[in-house]
Amino acid sequence: MACDDDGPGDIEAELRDFWRRLETDADRIVVWFSRRGSDDVAFFLAVTVRLGLRPCSLIEIDRPSVRTAGYLSPLEMTQQLNCEEPLSDERRASSRRLWRQLQAENATFRVVTSTGLTSAPADRFDAQLLAAATPVWRPALRLVGDVMGNDDDAIDMPLRWRIAALVDSGKLILEGDPRSLRTAKIRLPD
């Protein structure tokens, strides 16, 4: 079963443009991220590789209630301004090594543990997806939302791929267009 995306748009072109601007822009770079969210930590690690030896500063959020820097309110963000710290050569090197290791592992998911960002197997969230399903038809994306609401490391697109895999394996039943989880419904088999 194929899995849909969020509709029109070319995310790959947008990412290429973002990285090109990051690598060539003459402005000072300040990377905001939370240590609590796998997507934020992965972004930070990827930036360390993309920037090479170019200087940058960090605003690292380490509060249990903040999974991503994007969750900060405008007031909280304002309070963090001018609190950045330069990225040290040692941290840059260790971050680059970790990111290359994670890329080589090529896992579907990455999760934050007490030791930092680690790879997780493709079926990491399958039990949660199956627990969110019922014998009654439910919107497919409701399962994604339920899992994301209960686990900070769950990210929507890989969860959509896992729903497709669970349908293909017969563990879930799909009603509707298999290319559009946005409109499809899911239930447990009888």
Residue range 166-190, pLDDT digits in tens: 999 999 999 988 778 788 999 999 8
User: Is pLDDT of 30 > 80?
Assistant: yes
Give dist(CA 42, CA 33) in Å, integer. 9
Residue range 147-174: mean pLDDT, rounded: 89
Q: What is the mean pLDDT of the chain?
A: 88
Taking the C-alpha atoms of residue 95 and residue 170, their distance in angstroms, rounded to an integer, is: 40
Residues 6+ apart with CB under 8 A from 112: 35, 36, 37, 38, 41, 118, 152, 153
Q: How far apart are CA 163 and CA 165, in angstroms?
A: 5
Q: What is the mean pLDDT of residues 72-98?
A: 93
Query: Does 7 score more than 80 pLDDT?
Result: no
**What's the pLDDT score for residue 2?**
43
% of the chain beyond a pLDDT of 70: 95
Is 16 a residue whose pLDDT tops 50? Answer: yes
Q: pTM for the whole thing? A: 0.78
pLDDT over threshold 70, residue 14: yes
Residue type, 74: P
Measured CA to CA in angstroms, residue 130 lies from 141, 147, 148 at distances of 13, 10, 13
* Residues 148 and 141 sit within 8 Å (Cβ to Cβ): no
pLDDT score of 69 more than 70: yes
11 or 45, which is more confident: 45
- Return the SS3 of 42: helix
pLDDT at 181 (0 to 100): 78
Question: Predicted confidence band at 9 (pLDDT cuts at 50, 70, 90)?
Answer: low
Q: Are 125 and 149 in contact (CB under 8 A)?
A: no
DSSP single-letter state for residue 127: H
CA 118 from centroid of its chain's CA atoms: 13
CA 175, chain centre distance (Å): 27
What's the mean pLDDT in 55-66?
89
